[in-house]
């Protein structure tokens, strides 16, 4: 099987688990750079001249590699794509995903194939969240903090039932700009449509929002950009 060019780091967790995960990923064609005891171990290796991985699979429940360490890693290496492994979708994991823009979460109860697929999707620029993510996210009060002021404004208008055209008219932007912001919102929040996004904004909302059938708007990571001058 051909090996992918992207280097992968495995961080934290029991040694045996890390070895098995390394073996599974290597056999799937991934190029595993190494297994590291914790994030400090990974950063020390990079500081010493080791190749910087393109993605890291991190045990979110290892105290030395958990959410606080993930935040530090994100600040020092914002280009690094992150996948968290966890037993449960705890508030700490949900907050880490949202506030640190973590690209993927995989449950430890999932099979090896789910880890492999999640890694491929994340490397392709897509966010990957497990079953149960939406319900877990509903229980947090920080879920929309990762949104920009403009994204939150778009989401608040969408939550009222406005169509893309109506939002565009209200904000004096193009409908393509609205679609761009919505795709960014869905990716940041780990949801697939405006109904789910609106309910994250207000869990008690009995929304009647109608998801418009406008192609990649629902569920894809943005590939375009907002209109010039409207990127707030």
| CA–CA dist 68, 45 (Å, integer) | 19
C-alpha distance from residue 103 to each of 123, 124, 185, 197, 225 (Å): 9, 11, 13, 17, 19
User: Residue 126: which of 223, 2, 8 has the closest Cα?
Assistant: 223
Sign of CA pseudo-dihedral 68, 71, 75, 77: positive
Domains of the chain in start order, with CATH, are: 7-138 (3.40.50.2300), 149-217 (1.10.10.10)
Q: What number is the average pLDDT over the span 78-95? A: 88
In sequence order, the 6+-apart residues with CB closer than 8 A to the CB of 176 are: 224, 227
* pLDDT score, position 112: 84
Dig out the tokens for 100 from the structure: 């640190």
Dig out the tokens for 167 from the structure: 């939002």
The model carries a pTM of 0.62
Are the C-beta atoms of residues 119 and 8 closer than 8 Å to each other? yes
SS3 content of the chain, % helix, strand, coil (to 5): 45, 10, 45
**Could you give the percent of the chain with pLDDT greater than 70?**
80
Are the C-beta atoms of residues 43 and 73 closer than 8 Å to each other? yes
**Confidence band for 45, pLDDT divided at 50, 70 and 90:** very high
Q: What number is the average pLDDT over the span 199-218? A: 50
| CA–CA dist 45, 140 (Å, integer) | 35
- Residue 225 pLDDT greater than 50, yes or no: no
Q: What number is the average pLDDT over the span 196-222? A: 52
List, as one string, the DSSP characters of 48-70. Answer: TTPPPPSEEEEETTSTTTSHHHH
Give the distance from CA 171 to its chain's centroid. Answer: 27
The string of pLDDT tens digits covering residues 145-164 is 778 889 989 988 988 888 99
Q: Helix 194-201 to helix 149-159 angle, to the nearest 10 degrees?
A: 110
The mean pLDDT value of the chain amounts to 80
Q: What number is the average pLDDT over the span 215-223? A: 41
């Amino acid at each position: 099987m051909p090996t992918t060019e992207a280097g992968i780091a495995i961080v934290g967790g029991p040694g045996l688990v890390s070895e098995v995960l390394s073996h599974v990923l290597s056999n799937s064609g991934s190029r595993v750079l190494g297994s590291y005891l914790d994030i400090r171990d990974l950063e020390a290796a990079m500081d010493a001249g080791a190749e910087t991985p393109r993605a890291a699979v991190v045990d979110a429940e290892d105290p030395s590699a958990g959410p606080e360490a993930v935040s530090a890693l994100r600040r020092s290496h914002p280009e690094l794509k992150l996948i968290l492994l966890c037993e449960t979708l705890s508030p700490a994991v949900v907050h880490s995903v949202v506030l640190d823009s973590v690209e993927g979460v995989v449950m430890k109860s999932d099979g090896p194939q789910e880890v492999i697929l999640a890694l491929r999707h994340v490397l392709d620029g897509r966010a990957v969240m497990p079953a149960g993510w939406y319900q877990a996210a509903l229980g947090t009060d920080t879920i929309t903090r990762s949104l920009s002021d403009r994204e939150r404004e778009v989401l608040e208008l969408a939550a009222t039932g406005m169509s893309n055209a109506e939002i565009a008219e209200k904000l004096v932007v193009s409908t393509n700009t609205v679609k761009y912001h919505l795709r960014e919102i869905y990716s940041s929040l780990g949801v697939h449509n405006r109904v789910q996004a609106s309910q994250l904004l207000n869990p008690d909302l009995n929304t009647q929002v109608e998801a418009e059938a406008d192609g990649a708007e629902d569920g894809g990571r943005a590939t375009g950009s907002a209109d010039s001058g409207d990127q707030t």
